[in-house]
Amino acid sequence: MDTFAIGDQDFLLDDRPFRILSGAIHYFRVHPDLWADRIHKARLMGLNTIETYVPWNEHSPETGVFLADGGWDLGRFLDLVADSGMHAIVRPGPYICAEWDNGGLPAWLFTDPTVGVRSSETGYLAAVSSYMESVLDVVVPRQISNGGPVIMFQIENEYGAYGNDKAYLQHMVDLSKRLGVDVPLFTCDQPFGTMIEDGSLPELHKTGTFGSRADERLAFLRERQPTGPLMCAEFWNGWFDNWGTHHHTTDAAASAAELDALLTAGASVNIYMFHGGTNFGFSNGANDKGIYEPTITSYDYDAPLSEDGHPTAKYFAFRDVIAKHFPVPAEVPEIRAAAAASVAAVSRSVPLLSVPPATQLVPGPVPPVEITGHYRGFYLYEVLLQGGGVLSFSEVRDRAQFFLDGVPVGVLSREAGERTVVIPHGGRLQVLLEDQGRVNYGQRIGEAKGLIGPALLNGVEVVDWEVGAIDLSLDAFRDASLPFPDGNLAHAGVAGPSISFATFEADGPGDRFLRLDGWTKGNAFINGFNVGRYWSRGPQRTLYVPGPLIREGANELAILELHGSATREVSFVVGPDLGPDEK
């Protein structure tokens, strides 16, 4: 039986010193048909371990459910890690941050206002315990002691940046052990202030998270943990982007030098990210430190392996550093070849609100969208106003388009701090509400979405709203769509909000990069799969379309456009464009 343990100075694999050279790959950000490819390329860079978070909200989209197939098949992902000859580190949260919607916590959990957040509150612990039972049904049989790849298991995640509820942490430890975890348990926190002490327990191995000044950070960690192996559990070699800013990059040589310092110091490392992947659909998170900043669709992260799975200059720089300290495979992955370029034109369209969702009348104040039982995407509010004036809310979460008798009258954006809209006269008010991503870090985790009341028209509260979630499975919109009455004039544009459809041909599966110049804001779907949000404000200019989504022959493109386009054409281009960087 293989063993993995923590010694006085080293990790011990079968009682022999072992350095963890890990890279983060989030299986939930990668098409499952591409998992093996990404894992193999991690091994070719010289890594010996794959680390992944587990997103509770994806596996449990509603209470009492745990999905473990398709893109959520954690067991298959770990088996592929084992097949590659590599080890695995599992970080199940329950909070993961990760620039992921709600930090991985399911939104349904907080529809009960008595439930705590990341604490020893009993309702929260009960839900967490059920989740962990399901996760560990998958992980425990795949521990190294059972012949599997899993060598370490994390308790919570950077908890010292949030709180210091030791009873909560102890519950997580006791629960993990009771459910069969026998590999080392660890915590990770930033090496600042009291975070490392606040986020851990004496019995847990402490690791740091940082991306620079490695010697200083490791010294800080050693002061607080005199024995045991040093490890940077998140070596930040890049960064994420939010809408309306530049594309973040880090210098490959500088990042490689920091990695060299880590390895020279004898530390183990987990590269965050080795391969970032994509925030498909509505899965992106957001930050709010006084200003709401939703994360973009791409999670390329300027990682060594690009969003579409190809080695970058950083990949080869890291590979060279690792080769100074450890053996590296001779095989080298191929760099990206140009993808097939083409143009497609939408030929059919349907106004979004002409296929109205099922709504429910909610007596009293304007409710949050969670009342619908749906926790992502788009929602419709409706109310009959007897007159016009200034309509205000306490807050809009996150972006609302207002229509009076079908005519647009304004947009309110959380990012801009907007709360009031002028309604010219009485009539049927419809509000298309977009959840742009739940906050994934800090004290606003778990907050409700929607129009946050009171809703006041000229100071008088507006009550008795109808609200419903918009079903974007596309079938109803496809059936209702009609050809453009003026034919296929590319320059004619498309009015929004609407869903338009195009057909394009392909020789077979293969990566594509969808460019929507002239379009404003919305989501794109390939053969029914939501590849993510686009927005003309950037920085990203292309959406990554994973090759397995494309089939031989005819393929369908659907575009949800919220405002309007200056064209009916889109382009498939030869490579990604994630926008200008700071340079």
Residues 148 and 76 in one domain: yes
Q: Is the peptide bond before 398 cis (omega within 30 degrees of 0)?
A: yes
Specify the pLDDT at position 488.
Answer: 67
Q: The CATH number of the domain where 162 resides is what?
A: 3.20.20.80
| Domain shared by 460 and 485, yes or no | no
Give residue-wise pLDDT tens across range 221-272: 999 999 999 999 999 999 999 999 999 999 999 999 999 999 999 999 999 9
Same domain (yes/no): 92, 106: yes
Residue 346 three-state SS: coil
CA angle 498, 504, 509 (to 5 degrees): 120
Q: Coil, strand, or helix at residue 513?
A: strand
- Phi/psi for 41 (5° steps) reads -70, -25
Considering 469, 491, 509, which residue would you say is the last residue of a domain?
469
Residues 261 and 152 in one domain: yes
In a domain, 543, yes or no: yes
Q: Is residue 455 part of a domain?
A: yes
Q: Which is catalytic among the residues 99, 156, 234, 434?
A: 234
Q: Look at residue 13 and tell me if it is in a domain.
A: no
Last residue of a domain, one of 469, 491, 510: 469
One domain for residues 158 and 255 = yes
Q: How far is Cα 198 from Cα 525, in angstroms, rounded to an integer?
A: 44
Please list the ranges in the chain whose pLDDT falls under 50: none
> Is there a single domain that holds both residue 23 and residue 107?
yes
Tell me the C-alpha distance between 249 and 302, whole Å: 6
Query: Chain centroid to CA 496: how far?
Result: 27
- Expressed as residue numbers, the domain containing 535 is 342-350+473-573
Distance CA 80, CA 41 (A): 13
Q: Residue 58: enclosing H or E segment and its boundaries?
A: helix 56-59
CA distances from 245 to 133, 153, 242, 440, 536 (A): 41, 35, 6, 19, 12
Both 446 and 514 in one domain: the answer is no
Q: Which of 429, 450, 469 is the last residue of a domain?
A: 469
CATH number at residue 374: 2.60.120.260
Please check whether residues 495 and 449 belong to one and the same domain: no
Instruction: Establish if 9 belongs to a structural domain.
Output: no
- Which of these is catalytic: 158, 258, 293, 569? 158
Nearest to 451 by CA among 377, 408, 403, 393: 393
Pairing of strands 512-515, 185-189: unpaired
Q: Rounded to an integer, what distance in angstroms lies between the CA atom of residue 236 and that of residue 342?
A: 36
Asked whether residue 267 falls in the same domain as residue 238, the answer is: yes
In a domain, residue 160? The reply is yes
In a domain, 82, yes or no: yes
pLDDT value of residue 583: 62
The count of domains in the chain is 3
Whether 397 and 421 map to the same domain: the answer is yes
Q: Would 283 be classed as within a structural domain?
A: no
Q: How far apart are CA 186 and CA 197, in angstroms?
A: 13
The pLDDT score that the predictor gives to residue 218 is 97
Beta-strand relationship, 150-154 and 185-189: parallel
Q: How far apart are CA 200 and CA 166, in angstroms?
A: 8
pTM of the model: 0.98
**Closest to 274 measured CA to CA, from 22, 577, 44, 73:** 22
Let me know whether 95 and 222 are in one domain: yes
Let me know if residue 242 belongs to a domain. Answer: yes
Describe the crossing of helices 252-264 and 313-325 by its angle, rounded to 10 degrees.
20
Residues in the chain: 583
Residue 158 designated active-site: yes
Same domain, 214 and 245: yes
Count of other CB atoms within 10 angstroms of residue 38: 23
C-alpha 168, offset from chain centre: 25
Instruction: Determine whether 395 is an active site residue.
Output: no
Predicted confidence at residue 516, as pLDDT, reads: 98
